[in-house]
């Protein structure tokens, strides 16, 4: 049983400057909902309600978002029942804990901060700037794979050959159409040096052995402690599987992805679908 999830959310969000100069990238809204709320919802939909957010400098608004807001509650309880219930839902959706990463030393170092919370059991990791839109929640799928194999499970997605240097890339042999037994892991390889086109998609199930591996991981790409490098150390002693992610991954740290996601998600909302579709059509016809 996987009962805990860790959401690293301490990064600076430099790819989204200047919007992220004074606000966390995880709080950027897709229409009216901050990115990290979708990620927390994925945990809840996957059966996890104990969530540790790795926060950092300038990230206080994430804590406030999941906290109670008595002022708003008071005003809305009289004025707008729907919105009131929405806010109460956010306050109660999960048991959320926070720990601060004091220095930004990479994703591996961020995960190290979960050691106290997750020392004795496998746990899920969901990157706080990545939303995966799928019928079966991506984390639920990885949990199911973990329950079958009892090894670390990495969610992966096939990417274009010219994109491999943006991701951690896995290599190995396919056990079935969607599960790969890993024999290689490389963080952001040069094009041509990648063992496959399957990229780490920001969702993992990790066993507690990751903490010892992180302790022994030297600084890698960008002079940071990389989670991918720690997983490579685990691979020397334990098996790791990768499972392909179903559904669509949205990298909300990327401006174009953010725009596309906003449009896609708005088109799925009844109140926006029709006027937005008409607007988009008029823009295209004007061209
Ligand atoms: C991180 C991981 C990388 C993974 C990527 C997915 O990189 O280190 O292995 O493929 O997330 O988004 P980052 O995007 O933080 O540089």
Residue 20 has pLDDT above 70, yes or no: yes
Q: Give, using CA atoms, the residue closest to atom 10 of ligand 1.
A: 167
The rounded distance, in Å, linking the Cα atoms of 115 and 212 is 10
52-88 burial string, b = 16+ CB within 10 Å, else e?
A: bbbbbeebeebeebbeeeeeeeeebeeeeeeebeebe
Higher pLDDT, 119 or 24: 24
For the stretch 24-46, pLDDT in tens is 999 999 999 999 999 999 999 99
Q: Kindly provide the residue ranges of all beta strands, DSSP E only, lying in 92-228, ordered along the sequence.
A: 95-100, 123-126, 130-133, 152-158, 168-174, 179-187, 198-206
Atom index in ligand 1 nearest the CA of residue 200 equals 10
Region label for 17, one of left (φ > 0), alpha (ψ between -120 and 50) or beta (otherwise): beta
Strand partners, 50: 4, 95
Q: How far is the CA of 277 from the centre of ligand 1 (A)?
A: 33
Q: Give, using CA atoms, the residue closest to atom 9 of ligand 1.
A: 168
Residues of the chain with CATH 3.90.550.10: 4-156+173-182+198-248
User: What number does CATH give the domain 4-156+173-182+198-248?
Assistant: 3.90.550.10
228-254 burial string, b = 16+ CB within 10 Å, else e?
A: bbbbbbbbeeeebbbbbbeeebbbbbe
Mutation choice for ligand 1 from 168, 187, 196, CB with most ligand atoms inside 8 A: 168
Residue 286 has pLDDT above 90, yes or no: no
pTM listed for this prediction: 0.95
Q: Give, using CA atoms, the residue closest to atom 12 of ligand 1.
A: 202
For residue 113 the two structure tokens come to 């901060």
Residue 284 has pLDDT above 90, yes or no: no
For the stretch 133-192, pLDDT in tens is 999 999 999 999 999 999 999 999 999 999 999 999 999 999 999 999 999 999 999 988
DSSP-derived secondary structure for 128-159: TTEEEE-SS-HHHHHHHHHHHH-SEEEEEEE-
Q: Ligand 1: which residues within 6 Å by Cβ?
A: 107, 127, 130, 167-168, 187, 199-200, 202, 226-228, 251
Q: What pLDDT score was predicted for residue 287?
A: 67
**Binning pLDDT at 50, 70 and 90, where does residue 119 land?**
confident
Residue 285 has pLDDT above 90, yes or no: no
Q: Which of 169, 165, 156, 141 is nearest to 229 (CA)?
A: 169
Q: Give, using CA atoms, the residue closest to atom 2 of ligand 1.
A: 168
Q: Give, using CA atoms, the residue closest to atom 7 of ligand 1.
A: 167
Q: What pLDDT score was predicted for residue 121?
A: 94
Between the CA atoms of 260, 170, 11 and 28, what dihedral angle is there, to the nearest 10 degrees? 20
């Amino acid at each position: 049983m996987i009962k805990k999830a860790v959401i690293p959310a301490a990064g600076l969000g430099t790819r989204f400057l200047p919007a992220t100069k004074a606000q966390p990238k995880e709080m950027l809204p897709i229409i009216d909902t901050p990115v990290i709320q979708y990620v927390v919802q994925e945990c809840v939909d996957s059966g996890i309600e104990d969530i540790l957010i790795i926060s950092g400098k300038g990230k206080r608004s994430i804590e406030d978002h999941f906290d109670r807001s008595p002022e708003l509650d008071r005003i809305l309880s009289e004025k707008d029942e729907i919105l009131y219930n929405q806010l109460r839902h956010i306050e109660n959706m999960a048991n959320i804990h926070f720990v601060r990463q004091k220095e930004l030393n990479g994703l591996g170092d961020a995960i190290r901060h979960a050691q106290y919370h997750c020392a004795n059991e496998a746990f899920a990791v969901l990157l706080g700037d990545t939303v995966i839109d799928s019928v079966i929640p991506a984390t639920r799928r990885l949990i199911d794979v973990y329950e079958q194999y009892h090894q670390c499970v990495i969610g992966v997605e096939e990417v274009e050959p010219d994109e491999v240097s943006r991701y951690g890339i896995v290599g190995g042999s396919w056990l079935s159409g969607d599960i790969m037994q890993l024999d290689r892991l490389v963080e952001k390889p040069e094009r041509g040096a990648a063992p496959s086109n399957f990229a780490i998609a920001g969702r993992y199930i990790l066993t507690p052995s990751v903490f010892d591996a992180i302790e022994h991981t030297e600084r890698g790409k960008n002079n940071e402690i990389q989670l991918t490098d720690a997983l490579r150390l685990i691979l020397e002693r334990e098996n790791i599987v990768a499972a392909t992610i179903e559904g669509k991954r949205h990298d909300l740290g990327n401006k174009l992805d953010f725009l596309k996601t906003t449009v896609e998600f708005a088109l799925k909302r009844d109140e926006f679908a029709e006027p937005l579709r008409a607007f988009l059509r008029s823009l295209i016809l004007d061209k």
